[in-house]
Structure 1
Amino acid sequence: MREHLPDLLRWWLAGHPVAAATVTGTAGSAPRPVGATMLIGPDGTVLGSVSGGCVEAAVHAEAERVRATGLARALRYGAGQEAATGVGLTCGGTIDVFVERLDRATFPRLDEMVAAVRAGQQVAVLTCVDGPRRRMGRRMLLGPWGEHGSLGDARLDAATLPEARAALAAARTEVHRHTVDGAEHAVLVRAHPPPPRMILFGATDHVAALATVGSQLGYRVTVCDARPAFATRRRFPSADEVVVDWPHRYLAAEVAGARVDGRTVLIAMTHDPKFELPLLEVALAGPAAYVGAVGSRRAHAERLDRLRAAGVTADALARLAGPAGLDLGASTPAETAVSIAAEVIAVRTGRAGGPLGHGHGRIHTSPLTPPGVPTRR
């Protein structure tokens, strides 16, 4: 959804209603998680998706009707429905989808929300996605300004706000259910935390490739290198920032300033012990979710020996991914970037990283599982 906010805001500012279809529940094997959104613009333009393609056309048709009438709808699509409706999920799962119209009347503070998200501030959007019709589509915002709006009932607001604050703090998008006046309500809490950081140390072609992949995965990418001739914006156009500084000094300042947290990815790609060793000492003592270092197996064994000699504990060394990446046989910078990014995802989701065909259970990670919490495959 974050990547489509500029288009949504442009339509909103022009006064053009937009339809939004959002996944609000999944069961079994579902291709998209809770919070996945498809926008249908005033000219029929489609941005995003709610499935792997099997129900997109049906959702698009419903969304066009909702955009025209303004009457929000809660829909369900599941396997086995094809015979009755011609629409179903081929993967065998079930998804709930909430379709609503977004315009100046239904989302009056959209511009403030988008501005806060762009500024890297924490924002949560609470939407009643199931319950009495008079409350469906009612919305609250949590952000730097405090609280705005209502879900349509003060008791529902009070019951949902603590959960929304917790979800925002944990960077989770989830649905909560509460009963008010004997009616069950479902409230979607969509968290818009600042994007997680990926800090790459080194100024090489491999770093440039990984910066591109990291940006595509939603990270705010920083490239840091002590050599001004190599660390230039022209060489790293996909990075959000390029910093010329000694890696360990820069990272120590970021850690001290609380700009490195439990979602941050740190990867040493300098191939130079004088940069790498003091950097890894700082990185392994900090809170980052992933700390990796590239190089050969022999180079990594020597790296570990040097870190032990410097007093780095066994527990800290166990956090170091090295040589960084999954064993894909990668050789080019682009292939190496895919290998490292794949390991970052596997660590975040608690997966082993082997072939899907050799695994068991759910393919997709539960959308209610916080990043970094292991899940069974």
Structure 2
Amino acid sequence: MEDIHDVLDAIDSTSSGGVLATVVQVTGSAYKKEGASMLFQPDGTQIGLLSAGCLEEDLAERLKGSEARYEEVVYDMRGEDELSWGEGSGCNGVISVWTEKLDDAYIQHLLKLKGVLQTGQSVVMMKKRGEAPGYLFIPEEGEPFGSWAGGVPDDCKVIERGMFYSRALGGEVYVQRIRPKRRLIVFGAGPDARPLVSFAAGAGFSVTVCDWRPALCHNTCFPAAERRIIGFPNELLTQIEVKPDDCVVIMTHNFKRDQELLQVLKGKEMRYLGVLGSKKRTARLLGSDSIPAHITSPAGLAIQAEGAEEIAVSIVAQLIQVSHAVKLKEAVCL
């Protein structure tokens, strides 16, 4: 999950003040990479992480006495003496952090960013320093918004994440493509779905739980789910638009319901389609001797998992693996 989603979730229309910190460059090894972001709220609350906990308190202290709207703080982790940021921290790189004070206008832009991401669009974010510092958000559709002076270099829009030197602007620009939250749709609200939904939400997925049984599919059982939809398979499949980036897990434990769902979902494009249960059972659901390559059965990594919690861990790990594989492929293409 991109840290910016945690930051956006912590901001609402009543928010005011605070500092947004973003890791814009890492040289060498570090616990987190470019794009890691963190919100320092006026009351001392901290949202997100920039490292494994090595830098956050120091940065918080620096920010307390600073009146600067924009700052750059560099942490050199390469030293080995006890007074340095080196070996004792577990990292061995140089981390550059840009901080930005949040005024009312910036908060409104962040709320707009949150709304755009919720429509399923990705957004290119740019930040710059120098004589005319600023930030800009460029959605796939619609007009850019932010606080930005000068032109927008088109060639840096293809960068997934990192620093870019713009000749037009005469300086470096940090570019990051922010994607919507990864979405997981779970069909089945049995007891074993509860740890899966909880772990997946904790890993940054926007989770929707679907089931025909109101007594199971409700907020008390699935507080971490963003949506809970009640209905039989034919009703659910008319209410949910499965998108190419979505992940889906079928786990109703009812053969007829699983079969109805799989017969429709097998023909849709999605990032991941997993079915709980053995390969033999899934083949029976399909009415075939073989299982298509795009269907994962049984769902989850082969870690000899037993019990609801371990199986949930194996499935969430596989979802993360699939998500990162897609990112790696995109980065190679760029």
Q: Same fold (TM over 0.5)?
A: yes
TM score, norm. by length of structure 1: 0.74
CA distance in 1, matches of 2:213, 2:165: 54
When residues 60 and 85 of structure 1 are mapped into structure 2, their CA distance, relative to the original with a 3 A threshold, is farther
Structure 2 residue aligned with 1:199: 185
Match for 1:287 among 258, 269, 272?
269
RMSD: 3.2
CA distance in 2, matches of 1:276, 1:74: 53
Q: Partner of 1:100: helix, strand, or coil?
A: strand
* Within-5 A mapping of 1:263-342: 263-295=245-277, 297=278, 300-307=279-286, 309=288, 317-342=292-317
Post-superposition shift, 1:344? 1.1
Aligned: 1:240 with 2:223:
no
Q: Partner of 2:144: helix, strand, or coil?
A: strand
**Deviation digits for residues 134-161 of structure 1 (CA, Å, limit 9, x no counterpart):** 223x12233576223453222xx2x14x
CA distance in 1, matches of 2:331, 2:275: 22
Structure 2 residue aligned with 1:73: 71
Match for 1:189 among 176, 187, 192?
176
Aligned: 1:100 with 2:88:
no
CA distance in 1, matches of 2:150, 2:7: 30
Aligned: 1:215 with 2:178:
no
* Within-5 A mapping of 1:343-354: 343-350=318-325
When residues 340 and 110 of structure 1 are mapped into structure 2, their CA distance, relative to the original with a 3 A threshold, is same
* Within-5 A mapping of 1:1-377: 1-5=4-8, 7-9=10-12, 12-13=15-16, 16=17, 18-65=18-65, 68-81=66-79, 83=81, 86-88=84-86, 90-104=90-104, 108-115=105-112, 117-118=114-115, 120-121=118-119, 122=121, 124=123, 126-130=125-129, 132=130, 134-136=131-133, 138-143=134-139, 146-154=143-151, 157=152, 159-160=153-154, 163-164=156-157, 174-180=162-168, 183-189=170-176, 191=178, 193-247=179-233, 250-251=236-237, 254=240, 259-295=241-277, 297=278, 300-307=279-286, 309=288, 317-350=292-325, 370=327
CA distance in 1, matches of 2:77, 2:106: 38
Q: Partner of 1:271: helix, strand, or coil?
A: coil
Letter of the 1:3 partner, please give it: D
**Deviation digits for residues 106-149 of structure 1 (CA, Å, limit 9, x no counterpart):** xx15225315515713474634344x2x223x122335762234
Q: Partner of 2:192: helix, strand, or coil?
A: helix
Are the counterparts in 2 of residues 206 and 334 from structure 1 also a CA contact under 8 Å? yes
When residues 50 and 224 of structure 1 are mapped into structure 2, their CA distance, relative to the original with a 3 A threshold, is same
When residues 228 and 54 of structure 1 are mapped into structure 2, their CA distance, relative to the original with a 3 A threshold, is closer
CA distance in 1, matches of 2:192, 2:227: 17
CA distance in 2, matches of 1:211, 1:52: 25
**Which ranges in structure 2 are unaligned for 5 or more consecutive residues?**
none
Q: Partner of 1:142: helix, strand, or coil?
A: strand
Post-superposition shift, 1:272? 2.4
CA distance in 2, matches of 1:220, 1:251: 18
**Which ranges in structure 1 are unaligned for 5 or more consecutive residues?**
351-368
Percent identity reads 25
**Deviation digits for residues 329-377 of structure 1 (CA, Å, limit 9, x no counterpart):** 4333222211211111122223xxxxxxxxxxxxxxxxxx7277599xx
Letter of the 2:125 partner, please give it: L
- Paired residues in the alignment total 324
CA distance in 1, matches of 2:297, 2:57: 45
When residues 61 and 11 of structure 1 are mapped into structure 2, their CA distance, relative to the original with a 3 A threshold, is farther
TM score, norm. by length of structure 2: 0.82
